[in-house]
Chains A and B, each alone.
Chain A
Amino acid sequence: MIDFDWLLLFEVSLAGIGSGGLYALAGLAFVLIFKATKVVNLAIGEMLMMGAYFFFAMASTLGWPIWLGVVVAVLGSGALGALIERLLIRPMLGESPISVFMITIGLSSILVGAVELIWGADQMRLPDFMPSDPVLIGEAMVPPKIFYGFLVATGLIAVVLVVFRFWRGGIALRATASDQAAAYSMGINVPRVFSLAWVVGAMVAAIAGIIVGSISSLSPTMGVFGLSVLVVVIVGGLDSVAGALVGGIVVGLVEAWSGTYLGGQYKMLSTFSLLVLILMVRPYGLFGTHEIERL
């Protein structure tokens, strides 16, 4: 091992950062919901999946233009998010966090079942809409889908962060996250903030789902991606946006490295080892608040 292949390491790392961007985006969707409503949403992977299937229905089945398909799929997912909040989460207000947690597990089964009923259990391909020429960074080649996926993810993360920093709704959300009772008494409509968080979370998840679906393929087991997203947000700290971003990149890198140097079967093993390690050293994640609920 005198001639270590530095180029390979560089390429693998770039690919890792690229998929890390997607993890970060999906993590952001999770954190937005958790921050505002304190709900641990185990159905995050399935919400990604729903976005991808909505897009498939618009762009492939109905043959709509790609851009219209994306817009309608995102809006549809937002509506689904609102529906979930009103029908499943709102009635559970004030119940134990474990019960709400169980509801989201049930929700993930319902979503998988719905997808299998409507679209069947077979794998399907989303229409290609990203340029397919390989991208060169220096001498390193990056798969184009991962590259453009990363660009979209970072762009979207930036937009969400800016909007929530300066828009009143974002301030209301941060205030609600900080102290619900105080926010309520200050004229902030807390139930509406809850709906808002679910709608935006579902929309962000839908975009992540469309990108993930077009990088690999579409199937009802896509929700497994959510498992890695959970690792991302637990590593980063459940209620920390910055944590989701850093956690996403870290998990993306670890998966890419272990996949290349140890073999594909070690991917999950190494991410979950990382999770155990981080939880031992920092039980609240890298950037998490110390008062969060322990489940």
Chain B
Amino acid sequence: MSAAANPILEIDQITLAFGGVKALNGVSFEVAPGSITSVIGPNGAGKTSMFNTISGFYRPTSGHIRFLGEDITQRPAPQRAKLGLARSFQNIALFRGMTVLDNIKLGRHCHLHTGVFDALFYYGRARREEVRLRADIEERIIDFLEIDHIRNAPVAALSYGLQKRVEMARALAMQPKVLMLDEPVAGMNREETEDMARFILDVREEWGITILMVEHDMGMVMDLSDHVVVLNFGEVIADGTPAAVQGNPEVIRAYLGSGDVEELRRKLRGEVAT
């Protein structure tokens, strides 16, 4: 799938510098609506920095991020969440003291607009209706991700794979337009990985949610993605379909090194400037 005429998310010449270190350097790519787009690259390539910039944790030094055609570069993270950008984290970020259900319920926090007194006194019909609708959605999510049996368990007691699933459920409860997954299957066994891959495909099918993910599991990336973006040292070195990216010589070099042992030796001896 090539980038459509109207991308849902557009990354335009993003540069992110920490002091003199450029974590991202002129990164541009587009995410087509309804696609599964993956960002890959060796460790330290800037994938998570990219994610943090898109979700608003970092402010880029220059460049723009457009979401649904609107420039969101200057918007703080909570507003981006309201607009429909949800994310998960590389090292699970759940509210550990709370139960699975409480975590999921917090996902709708960004869409509520009641104050202290509203919550205590005003319970109009429209609101009750809304509350019911929300509960329906939460039930669907719990059902869909097969976590019904643990809904009242404290998240701290769950296995790693299940925690990842709860994190995804919480992101879905935000009813996002784009779901950003930071290494959704890192540290999972074969079976858990396959489950997660199935869930990711189903999220797109059932809810029509666009998916942007960072992942190291190449098998999964190539199987699921419509579009792959390869980062290395903060720059996009390849961008296209899985097949096109797999055959790209620069990508192979980035992942495996040049493979020339003699050249490495010369570099070590300082004969060749790196």
Q: Are A185 and B86 in contact (CB under 8 A)?
A: yes
Partner of B109, one of A166, A167, A175, A181: A175
Q: Are B109 and A178 in contact (CB under 8 A)?
A: no
Q: Are B93 and A188 in contact (CB under 8 A)?
A: no
Tell me whether A187 and B116 are in contact in the complex, defined as CB-CB below 8 angstroms, given that A175-B95, A175-B109, A178-B96 are known contacts.
no
Asked if B94 CB lies within 8 Å of chain A CBs, one says yes
Q: Are B98 and A181 in contact (CB under 8 A)?
A: no
Give the size of the chain A interface in residues (CB under 8 angstroms).
Answer: 21
Residues of the A chain whose Cβ atoms lie less than 8 Å from the Cβ of B112:
168
Asked if A172 CB lies within 8 Å of chain B CBs, one says yes
Residues of the A chain whose Cβ atoms lie less than 8 Å from the Cβ of B94:
179, 182
Residues of the B chain whose Cβ atoms lie less than 8 Å from the Cβ of A67:
none
Interface of A is mostly: helix
Q: Are B107 and A186 in contact (CB under 8 A)?
A: yes
Asked if B170 CB lies within 8 Å of chain A CBs, one says yes
Give the size of the chain B interface in residues (CB under 8 angstroms).
Answer: 31
Measured CA separation A183–B96 after assembly (Å): 12
Residues of the A chain whose Cβ atoms lie less than 8 Å from the Cβ of B115:
168
Chain B: minimal CB distance from A167 (Å):
5
Partner of B106, one of A166, A169, A175, A184: A175
Q: Are B110 and A178 in contact (CB under 8 A)?
A: no
Asked if B273 CB lies within 8 Å of chain A CBs, one says no
Asked if B77 CB lies within 8 Å of chain A CBs, one says yes
Residues of the B chain whose Cβ atoms lie less than 8 Å from the Cβ of A179:
93-96
Chain A 182-235 interface residues, beta-carbon cutoff 8 Å to B: 182-190
Measured CA separation A185–B174 after assembly (Å): 10
Tell me whether A171 and B106 are in contact in the complex, defined as CB-CB below 8 angstroms, given that A178-B95, A178-B97, A181-B57 are known contacts.
yes
Asked if B73 CB lies within 8 Å of chain A CBs, one says no
Q: Are B119 and A189 in contact (CB under 8 A)?
A: no
Chain A: minimal CB distance from B175 (Å):
11
Residues of the A chain whose Cβ atoms lie less than 8 Å from the Cβ of B93:
179, 181-182, 185
Asked if B227 CB lies within 8 Å of chain A CBs, one says no
Measured CA separation A187–B108 after assembly (Å): 9
Q: Are A188 and B78 in contact (CB under 8 A)?
A: yes
Measured CA separation A181–B81 after assembly (Å): 13
Measured CA separation A178–B109 after assembly (Å): 15
B120 to chain A: closest residue by CB? A166
Asked if A174 CB lies within 8 Å of chain B CBs, one says yes
1/0 contact trace for B172-191 toward A, CB 8 Å?
00100000000000000000
Partner of B174, one of A167, A178, A186: A186
Asked if B134 CB lies within 8 Å of chain A CBs, one says no
Chain A 10-46 interface residues, beta-carbon cutoff 8 Å to B: none
Given contact pairs A179-B94, A187-B110, A187-B174, enumerate 18 new A-B contacts (beta carbons under 8 Å).
A168-B112, A168-B119, A169-B116, A171-B106, A172-B109, A175-B95, A175-B109, A179-B95, A182-B89, A183-B95, A184-B78, A185-B55, A186-B81, A186-B107, A186-B110, A187-B78, A187-B81, A187-B111
Residues of A at the B interface (CB closer than 8 Å) are: 163, 166-169, 171-172, 174-175, 178-179, 181-190
